Structure 1
Amino acid sequence: MNRRPASPLSFWLLIGVAGLFLALVLAPAARAEAAEGCGPWPAWEQFKRDFLSDDGRVIDASEADRRTVSEGQSYALFLALVAGDRAAFDRIMHWTENNLADGDLTGHLPAWLWGRANDGSWTVLDSNPASDADLWIAYALLEAGALWGERAYSLRGARLAARVLEDETFPVAGVGRFLLPGTTGFHPTDNTWIVNPSYAPLQVLRALATRFPAERRWQQLVDGSAVMLRDSAPRGLAPDWATYRAGHAFDRDATATDDTTGSYNAIRVYLWAGMLDADDPRADALRRHFVPFADFIAARGTPPEKVDAATGAAAANDGNAGFSASAVPFLVSLGQRALAAGQAARVARLNAESAPGYYTSVLTLFGIGWYEGRYRFAADGTLRPAWSATCTPR
């Protein structure tokens, strides 16, 4: 259709009106996503003040033993990398290695629990590893090695990743591989395995498959984890834990006693799915599968604290700020930006009303940090922190 060119005066008037609209109408959260990714990260600095000791230990003060878990160390390591905070990264890495991995991350999976023992000493309280922490530590080290050009990080990450693959995964005929939550306690019978869906973020697994293409078991783990995430959530709602039975997959019969609650563990399934790159071949199907979670938020205005993955029922209680923070990337990935902005605003309001604990804080850093454009995962799973490029978040 032919149109008459606008006059210069009309053109500049249009620009002025558009500028006024952008300045006054756009939601603060949406502006943050476009503008804050490259600046200082106040939430990370607050996390360090609240939870990180001078020597690099993440302290969960809500527990009487002022414990440290390997999950906290792994998340802090990753978030320090996102922040470009190499000094904190090194402190966290060395504390983790020295206290959880017998001084050698290349030779030992880190123990999951450290704290005050009954005799008053500070030591490992449970030496069983946690595979999600092990994966995130290996991933953060490998990405840091690439981004900072530090071979010592890469070496630690590669050897830790190899140990995860060897000690914490198992083959599933016709499917691929699954991740065990730890080395012991999750294979109760010859034909039964217990898994935690939130332990298997596909972008992290894909990055490891990309970095080690000759080791085909990584791709098998990507493939198997995608099946596990889908099949353990028959109603599109993720459980905290699920039981896989050879020959029956995740099907439950009338005698099944395993808990099908989805809550503080499962909320991370939606977080990881939402942060997948749109070009990841598993992203679209996985997000569509979990749309019922977004439907709950749209209907009630908040994520439920608990759902029953088997029946699809939701509890009356609302999830806390960490639940809303985890929902934000997922809602954005579905194109529900207004709903995402509302959850981001809820996070800010709740965290202003009362100081968040350790877990809520890390979920907020993950979800809102992503929303602010501080980092992205590429289609191959590799990390793209804002500081590593032109500092213009997409």
Structure 2
Amino acid sequence: MTRAETTGRRRRDVLRALAACSALPMLGTLTRNAHGAPASAASAPAALGRTCAPVDWPDWARFKARFLSDDGRVIDRSMDDQRTVSEGQAYALTFSLMANDRATFDKVLDWTANNLAQGDLTAHLPAWLWGRQDNGQWGVLDRNPASDADMWIAYALGEAGRLWNVRRYTALGALVARRIAAQETDFVPGLGRTLLPAPVGFHPATDLWRLNPSYVPMQVVRYLAGRFPESGWAQLISSSLKQITLSAPPLGFAPEWAIYRAGRGFEIDPDTHGEGSYNAIRVYLWSGMLAPDSDDLHALKHTFGGMLRYVAAHGAPPERVNTRDGNASRAGGSGFSAALVPLLQAVGDTAQAQAQVTRARALEAQSAPGYYSSVLSLFGLGWHDGRFRFAADGTLRVPWEATCPTR
């Protein structure tokens, strides 16, 4: 197929998706009511979909009470700028869907589009950082998008469209997925088409790329490739799996960041010096939550023996570890323990998995966790409690799907 033919096909796909979006009131675009004020998606006429009440998920209720504003902004209150990151918005969309909490989903989606995507998620990927500026005003602090957040947004939209039977969510998810593939990937020799952490700043030299293995949860990559086959995501399956497996040093710990050099492969990132910490903890989390019958879990569950042995020997995952020699600092918090639960369960260490559940709950009872730790716990402990599962193709499995009627 020629470049002109490919471009023409993509343009037609986008137009079809836009037509599907316009068939119902648009979510994620800045609309105006009769008085000229911004109108939220919640104020739009109700669409067909599933109609039962949100599930009772106490951890999600606490997260909303602590970190979610009335208008749908997830706030990291530990930071002086009271920031919101696109990752937090993406996770809130995902948890809202898991909880069948459509009112919260719509609020979070509206805020994300109106404040991070210049009012239109069909035209812009969201900026990754928003908060209080030096002059005291509120707004975008860094407009460069973050591809991991964008992926989870596309995923949440696609699955919201399927589970709630709302076509406009699906159409918007398809557009976001396509835009990620167009703006946040590059062809990397030896890897193929590869997800970059952002459109700008991660290809510092002709033969050099800076990558983050925690940005490519395989269930999300598989889902976007299968749900939106014209988006280009199928090309990213192999390179994403290689990012995770080949960037981990022989000791079996996931790094925060990794350098990939054409002709030489993965190298230690000079900025983080091979450390594994707050980014890397998600690599174990995403891997452990893969479906038991998935090829990806078979490929990954024995990749991180170093971390599993460390937890068995010390009773908790480290907050920071040198992936080259295994030396570690203090124990990680409640979210770190929660993040290891699915992987421990996946490799059959049910006793240690339960020990990490107990530790996470005990630490949470002693002091309220912060935003990021709470996110890790919602994923790890929510998975452990059976609130959700991921199928081999990445689709979301939630208990309420079988009992919630569609109208």
TM-score range normalised by the length of the shorter chain: 0.7 to 0.9
Identify the match of residue 320 of structure 2 among 296, 306, 320.
Answer: 306
Q: Partner of 1:303: helix, strand, or coil?
A: coil
Distance 1:268 1:242 in 2: 15
Structure number, greater radius of gyration: 1
The farther-off stretch of 115-124 and 198-207 is: 115-124
Query: What SS does the aligned partner of 2:325 have?
Result: coil
The residue number in structure 2 matching 1:349 is 362
Please say if residues 55 and 99 of structure 2, whose CA atoms lie closer than 8 Å, have aligned partners that are also in contact: no
Q: Which residue does the alignment assign to 1:366?
A: 379
Aligned with 2:88 (options 53, 68, 72): 72
1:289 corresponds to which of 296, 299, 303: 303
CA contact (8 A) 1:237 1:312 kept: no
Q: Is this contact kept in 2: 1:304–1:314, CA < 8 A? A: no
- Pair 1:80–1:134, CA change in 2 (3 A): same
TM-score by length of 1: 0.86
Matches within 5 A, 1:181-220: 181-215=197-231, 217-220=232-235
Q: Deviations over 1:272-314 (max 9, x none)?
A: 00000012112112111112211110011100111122x2313
Match for residue 69 of structure 2 among 53, 60, 68: 53
SS in 1 for 2:306: helix
Decide whether the 8 Å contact of 1:106 with 1:155 is kept in 2.
Answer: no
Q: Distance in 2 between the 1:355 and 1:289 partners?
A: 32
What is the RMSD of the two structures over their aligned residues, measured on CA atoms?
A: 1.6
Q: What residue is the counterpart of 1:328 in the other structure?
A: 341
Letter in 2 for 1:218: W
Give the superposition deviation at 1:258.
5.6
Q: Where does residue 228 of structure 1 map in the other structure?
A: 243
List aligned pairs for 1:9-88, cutoff 5 A.
40-88=56-104
Give the secondary structure class of the aligned counterpart of 1:231: helix
What is the DSSP-based 3-state SS (H/G/I as helix, E as strand, rest coil) of the residue aligned with 2:317? coil
SS at match of 1:282: helix
Residue 241 of structure 1 is matched in structure 2 by: 257
The 2-side partners of 1:373 and 1:160 are apart by: 29
**One-letter amino acid of the structure 1 residue matched with residue 273 of structure 2:** D
Could you tell me which runs of 5 or more consecutive residues in structure 2 were left unpaired when the two chains were aligned: 1-53
Deviation at 1:98, TM superposition (A): 0.3
Asked whether the equivalents of residues 115 and 123 of structure 1 are also in contact (C-alpha less than 8 Å), the reply is yes
1:114 partner amino acid: W
| TM-score normalized with structure 2 length | 0.83
The alpha carbon displacement at 1:385 in A equals 1.5
Per the TM alignment, residue 252 of structure 1 is displaced from its structure 2 partner at its CA by 5.3
Structure 1 residues 307-347: Cα deviation after superposition (integer angstroms, max 9, x where no partner): 122x2313131011110000000101111111000000001
CA offsets, 1:230-261, max 9 Å, x none? 111022210011111111110459xx666210
- How much identity, in percent, do the aligned residues show? 56
- Name 1:89's counterpart in structure 2: 105
Residues of 2 paired with 1:257 and 1:111: CA distance?
23
Aligned residues: 350
Q: Could you list the runs of 4 or more consecutive aligned residues of structure 1 that deviate by over 6 angstroms after TM superposition?
A: none
